[in-house]
Amino acid sequence: MTDALFAIFMVSCSHMLGICRENTEPVEVLQSEQECVQTLYGRLNVASIKYEDRFPVAIGKCVAMDSTMALDEPAFDWFFQLDGKLSVKIIPPVEVQNAANTVSMVVDGDEG
């Protein structure tokens, strides 16, 4: 992977990780892994406090992404491995071209 950036991925979970959900805040993309990890720790503290009544356990990871995806809101595929570690990968955007969404118009400048 060339010119890697790092995206913060976070989930908030109930005690014992019985129920987890992705955090809904916009994904933050950072220039270096070190900057990402430092930012992640602060965001984990905020998420733990914000969701402390139902999802007090915040877990996150910095995920490397190609710089060509920086303008897209990344989607993630994630799960907890048997050893409890969070596994995360970025799903590359899929370009879909749909002919039904294409509009062609012919404008006749002489209406009269």
CA angle 15, 49, 57 (to 5 degrees): 25
Host domain of residue 31: 4-92
The domain total for the chain is 1
Residue 59 included in any domain: yes
8-state DSSP, 18: S
Residue 108 included in any domain: no
Task: Please tell me whether the overall predicted TM-score, pTM, comes out greater than 0.75 for this model.
Answer: no
Residue 99 included in any domain: no
Predicted confidence (pLDDT) per residue in 50-104, tens digit:
888 889 999 999 999 888 776 777 889 999 999 989 999 998 776 544 555 544 4
Residue 98 included in any domain: no
Residue 105 included in any domain: no
Residue 109 included in any domain: no
Residue 111 included in any domain: no
Predicted confidence (pLDDT) per residue in 2-55, tens digit:
578 999 999 999 988 889 999 888 888 899 999 999 999 999 999 888 888 889
